[in-house]
Amino acid sequence: MTRPDDADLLRIDQHVAPGHTALLMSGVLDGVTYRTARDAILKAAVDGPANLVMDVTDVVAPRPSAWAVFTSARWLTNQWPDVPMGISCAHASGRRTLARNGIARYVPVFRDVDAAVAALTREHPGVRRRMRHEWPATSSSVPAAREFVAHWLTAWGSADMVATATVVATVLVDNVLRHTDSRPDLRLELNRANVTVAVSDGNSAAAAVREDAEAAGRLSELTIVGVLTLAWGNTPIDGGKTVWAVMGPQNRL
């Protein structure tokens, strides 16, 4: 007997509109499709919409624990990209199920996508500035990334964050070049006073502080990133990962 493909069990259609992205889900949410749902949410969040809404009107979860995929995705994106998220469900019984299982405590639930977008926009009115660029997998990408970060932060009136952000960009891009064969894909964000540098690659292995360097009394590059930032971490994406670092005014050099 052939097991049906995950896509046959859970369908996820992505609709991008001004001000939000909606993931329209239909089918079965269970142990087989859990990761499919989670990865779709993470990918949509990393792309950086102003708001992200998951519509589950046509989703059936045989076990209530499967609904935890939404709190898991919220937790994985809480520090970055920290996109406002909501769930929409047209029937009251589904909304009650989400509330009863604790999902609504972490991801608000609404009757439809429009209501979700309106509420999320009111609650999170800030405007993020974002730029993105991908470079070839060559050493010339490191200075190019520094120049890219410096140019846009200066253009956005945040020249005081250039020194810190370019150090972080150097480390993250260099990390991609040294440990993967990927083209470094860099996102730069300014959200109020905080700056985020995030670099994606095609290797799913999480970036981590090198213990051998620590044992030898040397600061590894990622340890330096930790010192220079409010927070840093890894977010899994389809076919790889994104390593991100968030900096605030207190991190200025």
Digits of tens for pLDDT over the chain (253 positions)?
A: 333 455 569 999 999 998 899 999 999 999 999 999 999 999 999 988 899 999 999 999 999 999 999 999 999 999 899 999 999 999 999 999 999 999 999 999 999 999 999 999 999 877 789 999 999 999 999 999 999 999 999 999 999 999 999 999 999 999 999 999 999 999 999 988 899 999 999 998 888 876 544 444 456 788 999 999 999 999 988 889 999 999 999 999 9
pLDDT at 210: 60
* CATH 3.30.750.24 location in the chain: 6-123
| pTM to 2 decimal places | 0.83
Please, which residues have CB within 8 angstroms of residue 118's CB and are 6 or more apart in sequence?
none
pLDDT at 5: 53
pLDDT at 7: 56
Closest CA to 107 of 154, 63, 45, 155: 45
- The answer as to CATH 3.30.565.10 being correct for domain 128-251 is yes
pLDDT at 39: 93
Asked if residues 58 and 65 have their Cβ atoms less than 8 Å apart, the reply is no
How far, in Å, are 33, 82, 97, 189, 201 from residue 184 at the CA level?
30, 22, 42, 16, 6
pLDDT at 215: 46
Asked if residues 153 and 213 have their Cβ atoms less than 8 Å apart, the reply is no
pLDDT at 8: 67
Please state, in angstroms and rounded to a whole number, the distance separating the CA atoms of residues 159 and 151. 9
How far, in Å, are 15, 81, 173, 216, 235 from residue 244 at the CA level?
26, 9, 11, 26, 8
229 membership: H or E segment, kind and range: none
Asked if residues 62 and 28 have their Cβ atoms less than 8 Å apart, the reply is yes
* CATH 3.30.565.10 location in the chain: 128-251
pLDDT at 219: 63
Please, which residues have CB within 8 angstroms of residue 90's CB and are 6 or more apart in sequence?
57, 111, 112
pLDDT at 237: 86
CATH architecture of the domain formed by 6-123: 2-Layer Sandwich (3.30)
pLDDT at 1: 30
Angle at 193 between CA 161 and CA 18, to 5 degrees: 115
Asked if residues 185 and 136 have their Cβ atoms less than 8 Å apart, the reply is no
Asked if residues 36 and 10 have their Cβ atoms less than 8 Å apart, the reply is yes
pLDDT at 213: 47
Structure tokens at 141: 């990408």
